[in-house]
Each structure stands twice: as structure tokens, then as C-alpha cells.
Amino acid sequence: MKLIKWLFINRSIRTKILWSSVLISLVPMLVLSILFYESSTKSLERTMYRSADQNAQYVAGYLNQYFRDLSSSALQVYGFSHVMNLMEHGRSVTDEDFFNTKESLKNYYTLVSNKNKDSVIKIMIFGKNNQLRDYWSRAASYDSIPFDESIPHYGDMLDLPFRESLAFTYADAMLHRDFFVFAITIYDPFYRSKIGTLVFYIQKKELGKIIEANNKAPNVIVLRNSRGETFYNTNDTYADIIPTLDEPDSHLKNKPKAIQFVQRKNLLVGTSYLDNGNLSLTIVYPNEELARHGINTLLIAIGALVFALVSISLLSLLAQQYITRPIKQLGNAMKTVRHGNFHVTLNQPNRYRDDISELTRSFNYMTETIRELIEQRYQMQLRNKEAQLLALQMQINPHFLYNTLQTIGGKAVLIGDYDIPEMCRSLGELFRYSFYEGNTESTIGQELAHVSNYLYIQQFRFEDSLQIEFDVPEELMDTPIVRFVMQPIIENAVVHALGGPDDLQLLIRVRAETDDGAVVLSIRDNGPGIAYVKLEALRSGLELKSLEVFSGVSIGLKNVHERIRLAYGDPYGLEIDSCPGEGTDIRIRIPYRKRGELLA
């Protein structure tokens, strides 16, 4: 899903058409490639399986015959009574038995050697008590082959169970040669009592010749004894996939040529059991042809994919003239409308009608309708202005009221009262600032002058109970600000802090400073403060849009906050902090710019 979003979201129509065509064509092609690969691979696997099965049957039969000959050579000792008597009771003291036993041993050694094609180099005969009774060596150099702790399974190879043999290989440290050892314990066939043990030595290289004569590289042959130990392998390349078999399977033991194959990656692994040697045979067939076939199929699929992508890309470039180009023209026209130009008309094709041409007609109809609505709105605003002018003519002329206050102040001066003229002047300035018919935007300096006139009049009422302090840098006096944002805040402080039963001296501090491209006006008082619940309700109310339409100047904090945001945007407005008994701090945040500059 994330891949689909990355391919199609925030992409052009041309790109979306290209990716859609690629995905639609790619999925069926991948399915067909997979089916082709699977069918051809399965067919080749069956062929390789039959070939490997036949080879495994042959190798298993040949090695089973080899170990059958070796095992039967040991069991033929039952036909030599003097050798059996030697193993069970030791040598006789009579000369006749001595020579007969010697002759029997000679015949037995010759039989074993001939039966195993002269591959046996040494035979050791042990008695019932595991004592060496006699031995035979093909050469004098083999007489020194030791039989001690240096040989694996030295402690238990002379006491094997009935009809069980043990085969293993080891490196002789004295002769510096590798030997294959085959041991079998001889029992009385009726009473199952031990008679002795026969141990055969064969050079490992001779065993390797016999095995490799029936093997073809790169196949790997692995032999394990009844203990599950690997005593011969062609190489250990595939040692990790050879199954671990502690004991021969009884079912397959009766069918030593029955082989089971397990496919793993590009390998065929067959395992069978050689019951005559009590051994397991594993043959690994590296299926190189199957691997090459997979690579060839993969290259064909990649080539087909690349060809399809190139073809689809060329076709999409041709298709854009009839699909994406009109849509792009429509998008550019919409951008023009977004910037306020509604006098845009697209050419409508008359030769054919499709979805894109219908979008073009709808767009032209929309821009024409918007132009008509704008003209209607403009005419309605003109009529509203005319109605407002008529209403203003019926009101008292504010200039007449201002001139009347000046006349009253002049009369008061004539009778020697100088407070009344000052109050009339302050009140007249308040009226003049309120009835100013120019721009609704003023400056911080003018706002402070308006606040000073208001406080001057209030000080006549509250006298020393009202104190005011201004701390505004000179360079911020010309900063533009919406009119009537400070006087409503100060008026709220005066109304809620003075005029009550408590004799409280109210101090109002007005400060101004810059903060990260903005000007922050702080109006702090030492009044009674605002309760926490009411403060939270007041803060929440500031964030809710008012549905009322205000006319004239409102003294509400909410109206001041909304007018600032309407003029400058959401980052600006009022922030209120208060603590009961310690006073209230209201901060006005406006953009910092010089007079005449436009907002960015």
C-alpha cells in the first residue's frame, strides 16, 4: 500500500498513466513468467530425479555388495572349526591341533584376501576374553599397526552386539597412513554366546578407489557407520545438509536399495541403508543444469520486462498528446483562476466529445458564472454604500460636536475654570479619533494618545486612585496597528478594579517590545485579577469564531482579538494571564513593520 501511494500520490497525470500501464502489463507478464519457470523447472527436475535415482540405485547396490563380501568374509569363519576353537579356547598344546589350526588360519586368510580382491591388508583375530589370538598382514610393514587407545572405539569394538558390525576410518600416527577398519563380533549361532572378534584393516585410499569408481563428479558420496559417524566423504562441501541418522531405519533396512530424495535449492539428496555393513549411504547430486536453467529463465523474464517498460513508455508519450496535454492546459488555467484572474477561456474541441472536453466546457461555464457573480456582488456593494451614505446624512455631524466642545471649553476659560477646557479637549480628541473616516489602521503612538485622553478624563473621576505608566520605545511609535485595541482593554481594567467598595489604587503599566519579528504590547494592572474558571472560559472563548456581525467599535476583548486576527492572521491576537489578588496581564501581539509596508 505504501508503494502504491508513493507511485501515484502527488504525481502528474502523465506519470500516473505510465505507472498504471506498467503495473497492469507487469502483473500478467510476471504470472506467465512464473508459470513458465515453474513448468520448465519441474520438467527438468523430474528428468534429473529419474537419472539420479538410477545412479543412486546402482551405487547403493555396488557398495552394498562390497560390504556384503566383507561381512560374509568374517562370517565364513564358522566354516573353520579350528579357528573358532582358537578364538573361544586359545591355542591347543598338542602338536596335531597346533598344525591343524595353523593350516586353517592360512586357508582362512587366503579366502578372505581372494574374496575381497586383495584389498584387506591385515586381519586380527581376538578371543572370547578380547585377547589377540592371531593376526595376518599382507606386508611386514603392516605388522606394526597398533591396537591401543590411539584407535577410535578401542574400548567397545571387540564387544559388539549379535549380528552388528562397526566400520570407521582413522589416521595412524606411526605409519602416517589412513586406514578403514571393519570389526564384527562372532557369536554362537544357537546360544548367542560370544566366541571372539574379527578386525579387518583396509587402506582408506583403496576404499576411496572402489567408491570413486562408481561416482561421477560433482556428486558427493558420504558413508556413516551405525553410530552415526561420518567415516568417509568425497568432500565436505554439503556437510550441513547431510541428514543425521543415529540408527538405520528398520523399514529401509529390509530394502537397502530404496532411496528417498529430498530437494533443497538446487540439490538432490538421496539416503539409503547398507544392511550388510550396518551403514548409511548418502549421495548429493548438485543440480547445476537446473541452476543454469533458472538463470536463463530469469534473464529472459528481465529482458521481457525491460522490453515491456520501454514499449509502454513510448506509447504513453504518444498518448499524452490526447490525454495529458489537455489536462495540463486545464491545470494551468485553474492556477490562473486561483490567482484571481477569472477572464480565462479554454478552446473547446468541436470535432469530438469526451471526458476531457466535458471538463473543458464545465471549466468555461464555471469561470463565466463566477464573473457574473462577482459583478452582481459588486453592484450590491455599491447599493449598500449608497444606503450607508444616506444613513450618515441623518446622523449628527461629528465635526459639529467637536466644534461645540471647543466652544464650551473657551467659555470656561473666560470664567477662570481651566479643568473644563482640558476635559473638553480630551473628549473632543476621543470623538475625533472615533469618527475618523480614513483607514481603520492607526499607529501605536496614536493609540497611546487616544488611551491618554481616555485616562485623563477618568482621572477626574477617580483622582489619585488611578495611575498610569508608559514604557514604549520611540522606534515603535510608528508601528501600524488596528484602531481601538488598547482602549477597550484599559477600560475593562478600570471598570472591574475601581468604583467598588474597596479603596484600591489601580496602577496600569503599558510596555512594548519586539519578539521574533513581532511587537508585543503588554497591559498589566494590579487589580483583583480573574478567577481560574472564568480565565479558562475567557481563553476558550477567544479561540471560537464569533457569528455576530459587529458594526462600529466594540469594546469586547473577543472583538479586539478577532479584528487583530482578521487583519494580520492567526499567529497574532490577545494572550491573557491573571492571578486572583495579583492583577491581570494582557499581551497584544502584532507584526512588526514600518508604516506603509505591506504584510509579507
Render pLDDT for 413-446 as a digit per residue (tens, 0 to 9): 667 666 677 677 777 676 666 665 445 678 999 8
| DSSP state at residue 127 | -
311 vs 403: CA distance, rounded Å: 87
Q: Would the pLDDT of 334 be above 90?
A: no
287: cell is 543440480
Lowest mean pLDDT among 58-67, 324-333, 363-372, 577-586: 324-333
Q: From residue 286, how far is each of 45, 203, 236, 265, 346 by CA, in Å?
A: 12, 28, 13, 10, 69
Q: Would the pLDDT of 246 be above 70?
A: no
Render pLDDT for 8-26 as a digit per residue (tens, 0 to 9): 566 666 666 666 666 676 6
373: cell is 457573480
Predicted local confidence at residue 404, as pLDDT: 60
Cβ(363)–Cβ(346) below 8 Å: yes
353 vs 362: CA distance, rounded Å: 13
Mean pLDDT of 377-399: 52
For the packed helices 288-319 and 13-75, what is the interaxial angle rounded to 10 degrees?
A: 170
Predicted local confidence at residue 437, as pLDDT: 47
Cβ(592)–Cβ(479) below 8 Å: yes
Q: Would the pLDDT of 213 be above 70?
A: yes
Partners of 261 in the β-ladder: 270
422 vs 413: CA distance, rounded Å: 10
Neighbouring C-beta atoms of residue 15, cutoff 10 Å: 14
463 vs 505: CA distance, rounded Å: 10
DSSP letters spanning 543-588? HSPP-----S----HHHHHHHHHHHH-TT-EEEEEEETTTEEEEEE
DSSP letters spanning 245-261? -SS--HHHHT-TT--EE
Contacts (Cβ under 8 Å, ≥6 apart) of 260: 270, 271
| 374 CB-side CA count, 13 A | 10
Q: Would the pLDDT of 509 be above 70?
A: yes
Residue 522 is which amino acid? S
Q: Which is more confidently placed, 449 or 250?
A: 449
323 vs 475: CA distance, rounded Å: 59
Render pLDDT for 55-91 as a digit per residue (tens, 0 to 9): 777 787 788 888 888 888 888 898 898 889 888 888 8
CA of residue 295 relative to chain centroid, distance:
30
Predicted local confidence at residue 520, as pLDDT: 94
For Cα atoms 22, 23, 24, give the angle at the middle one, nearest 5 degrees.
Answer: 95
600: confidence class by pLDDT, cuts 50, 70, 90 = low
Cβ(412)–Cβ(421) below 8 Å: yes
Question: Which 3 state secondary structure label does DSSP give 501?
Answer: coil
Q: Would the pLDDT of 381 be above 70?
A: no
Cβ(250)–Cβ(231) below 8 Å: no
Cβ(211)–Cβ(221) below 8 Å: yes
Q: Would the pLDDT of 510 be above 90?
A: yes
Mean pLDDT of 164-185: 88
Query: How high does pLDDT run on average in the chain?
Result: 77
183 vs 74: CA distance, rounded Å: 9
Q: Would the pLDDT of 254 be above 80?
A: no
pTM of the entire structure?
Answer: 0.47
For the packed helices 444-462 and 487-497, what is the interaxial angle rounded to 10 degrees?
A: 20
Cβ(274)–Cβ(69) below 8 Å: no
CATH 3.30.565.10 matches 464-591: yes
140 vs 121: CA distance, rounded Å: 10
Mean pLDDT of 538-566: 68
CATH number at 53-286: 3.30.450.220
Neighbouring C-beta atoms of residue 127, cutoff 10 Å: 20
59 vs 282: CA distance, rounded Å: 10
| 34 CB-side CA count, 13 A | 6
Render pLDDT for 35-55 as a digit per residue (tens, 0 to 9): 776 777 777 777 777 777 777
Question: Which 3 state secondary structure label does DSSP give 465?
Answer: helix
Render pLDDT for 102-145 as a digit per residue (tens, 0 to 9): 899 899 989 988 888 888 999 999 998 889 999 999 888 888 88
Strand bridging mode 279-286 / 441-443? unpaired
